[in-house]
Structure 1
Amino acid sequence: MQNPAAATSASEFAELPATASHGPLRIEYRWVNETACDAPIAVFLHEGLGSISMWRDWPQALCERLGMRGLVYSRPGYGLSTPRPHDVKWPVDFMTAQARDILPALLDALDIDLPERRSMWLIGHSDGGSITLLYAALHPDALAGAVAIAPHVFVEDISVESIAQTKQLYETTDLRAKLGRYHADVDSAFYGWNDIWLNPAFRDWTITSELAPIRVPLLAVQGHDDNYGTMAQIDTIADCVPHAELVKLDGCGHSPHRDAPQALNEAIAAFVSKQK
């Protein structure tokens, strides 16, 4: 069992061995609210252009509110984790691979055992929200609950259009320099995400048929002003997982933890408290 000693920490690194689905990986991770050694763990899964540092202080604030210990990590290709080789394209099922292979391997590397996993919560944003849903479906007995923030369960025109616009901004403005503050290899992060979302083969991607096994408490959150997805995303989750609870935030775009942190934290805290 991981037993951190400090209240906050710098990034550490976990070495994941090669498997049939991936080569050896070095994963950047960080514990927050570390002194709460006996508290349940909340695992944070970042967005498609995210990393540990892009979360800023939100995981810390939420963990303090929930009385949980937080695990934040950068997925392969992001932050200080192993970059994506520039000649490698993410496959259409890249999010399923993260839920099926990478996250369980990271938990193994950190000696997070099954009893700890059964009390664990996943909190994911955007692509990380989709991975959260997939993990909850694939590992229904290794989780206490899940929060999916602005997740994707199928591809909408608004998503593709916004991602195409982001590519133009990346290649013509200072967006690349700004994102470079958060990733050791910013092109690895950006084009890994952008290329797969703009790949015509990805247009038919959906995980709606994979959500039915979710048994744990599930909260899905969406902002009314999200330019990467509509309310159809979380409404579809409710159709597939009838016990899911939905929160729809006014005056909020694609990043509720930045756009409406107080409302988001209130919603998550209220939902988690009902499960105790």
Structure 2
Amino acid sequence: MAMIGIDGALVEHAWFHPVVRNDSKLKAPIVFLHHGFGCVADWKSFPSKVADATGRSALVYSRRGCGASSALPFPRTEAYLHDEASGFLPLLLDRLGMARCHLYGHSDGATIALLFASAFPDRALASVVEAPHVFAEEMTLRGFAALNERYETDATLRRKISRFHRDPDGAFYAWSNAWLLPEFRSWTIVDELALLSQPLLVIQGAVDPFGSMAHARLIAGRSGRIPIVVELARCGHSSHTESEAETLQLVTKFMEWLAPYRRRMIALVERGREVGR
């Protein structure tokens, strides 16, 4: 793990490079965005496997308040996902000299990926979003409230989370307290979906206790570009751990599809330039 200074905070991050690098330095990397109280270590080996399978380097970082990163400078509000996508993530990418990238987001991270792609279409090349939240669904709020209660009473869960964070209580409650704010009940990013213009893969577990296919359907119906939507049977909230092989295959095929897609787009642009001469 390494640390980097961003806007007065130290941010934990790690790079995973493909075993066979070849032209990987010429390919835009994939930035991984963790769930609400996740971190670098919480991804385990999945980013490394994606890097090897796609031939692209993977960047993983712990958001402020998570993992070994600095504490949050202030309590989160219902706008914290927007703030991360439009404020802090661009600063991180700038600091790392990363002009453009692909995104892989899980849960809260998936929402951040959607918001970043809608706000910075010139920087987000393509996104994979796993179990995204696009509105405050009632089952999501119930599930988060139950998880909050379990955290307070289940010592096993607390010990598990403490393995990943310098301040486990701070990481968990910063997330749960935000989602349980009364104003979060009307939270939504549906309006931002129309601004999505880049290729998008949406992965949703059929038995996710924290969100239904309604989110994927909204993305498909409201997005400025029709996404690829995959529902995984017998899969819950974390497809990259519960259905790792299938998820890895989906991501690999998606990234393979992007190469000829980008060549077609470049050819169309060049053709348009010639017509305009």
Amino acid at match of 1:218: L
Q: What's 1:213 paired with? A: 195
Would the aligned equivalents of 1:84 and 1:189 in 2 still touch at CA under 8 Å? no
Q: Give unmatched runs, 5+ long, in structure 2.
A: 260-277
> Cα offset for 1:84?
2.6
> Cα offset for 1:159?
0.8
CA deviation digits over 1:37-83, x for unaligned, max 9? 33320000000120000000000001110110000000011001111
Q: What's 2:243 paired with? A: 260
Q: Which one of the candidate residues 57, 61, 64 is aligned to 1:76?
A: 64
Q: Does 1:144 align with 2:128?
A: no
User: Structure 2 length as normaliser, TM-score?
Assistant: 0.89
Q: Does 1:245 align with 2:228?
A: yes
Task: Measure, in 2, the Cα distance between the counterparts of 1:213 and 1:231.
Answer: 21
The structure number with the bigger radius of gyration is 2
Task: Measure, in 2, the Cα distance between the counterparts of 1:213 and 1:167.
Answer: 33
Q: Which one of the candidate residues 21, 30, 33 is aligned to 2:17?
A: 33
Q: What's 1:187 paired with? A: 169
Q: CA RMSD in A?
A: 1.2
Amino acid at match of 2:187: W
Task: Measure, in 1, the Cα distance between the counterparts of 2:251 and 2:85.
Answer: 22
Would the aligned equivalents of 1:123 and 1:146 in 2 still touch at CA under 8 Å? yes
Task: Measure, in 2, the Cα distance between the counterparts of 1:13 and 1:222.
Answer: 32
Amino acid at match of 1:137: S
User: Structure 1 length as normaliser, TM-score?
Assistant: 0.89
Q: Does 1:153 align with 2:147?
A: no
> Cα offset for 1:104?
0.8
Q: Which one of the candidate residues 80, 84, 94 is aligned to 1:94?
A: 80
Q: What's 2:89 paired with? A: 103
Would the aligned equivalents of 1:158 and 1:229 in 2 still touch at CA under 8 Å? yes
Task: Measure, in 1, the Cα distance between the counterparts of 2:221 and 2:27.
Answer: 33
Q: What's 2:269 paired with? A: none
Q: Give unmatched runs, 5+ long, in structure 1.
A: 1-10, 18-23
> Cα offset for 1:244?
1.0
Q: What's 1:64 paired with? A: 52
SS of alignment partner, residue 37 of structure 1: helix
Q: What's 2:273 paired with? A: none
Task: Measure, in 2, the Cα distance between the counterparts of 1:148 and 1:105.
Answer: 21
Amino acid at match of 2:165: H
Q: Which one of the candidate residues 157, 168, 172 is aligned to 2:149?
A: 168
Q: Percent identity?
A: 36
CA deviation digits over 1:78-115, x for unaligned, max 9? 00111136xx4201110011111111101111122x3x
CA deviation digits over 1:20-46, x for unaligned, max 9? xxxx21111100016543332000000
> Cα offset for 1:262?
1.0
Would the aligned equivalents of 1:130 and 1:151 in 2 still touch at CA under 8 Å? yes
Q: Does 1:44 align with 2:44?
A: no
Q: What's 1:203 paired with? A: 185
Amino acid at match of 1:83: A
Task: Measure, in 1, the Cα distance between the counterparts of 2:242 and 2:252.
Answer: 17
Q: What's 2:41 paired with? A: 53
Equivalent pairs counted in the alignment come to: 253
CA deviation digits over 1:93-139, x for unaligned, max 9? 10011111111101111122x3xx1xx21000000000000000000
> Cα offset for 1:225?
0.6
Bigger fraction of residues in helix? 2
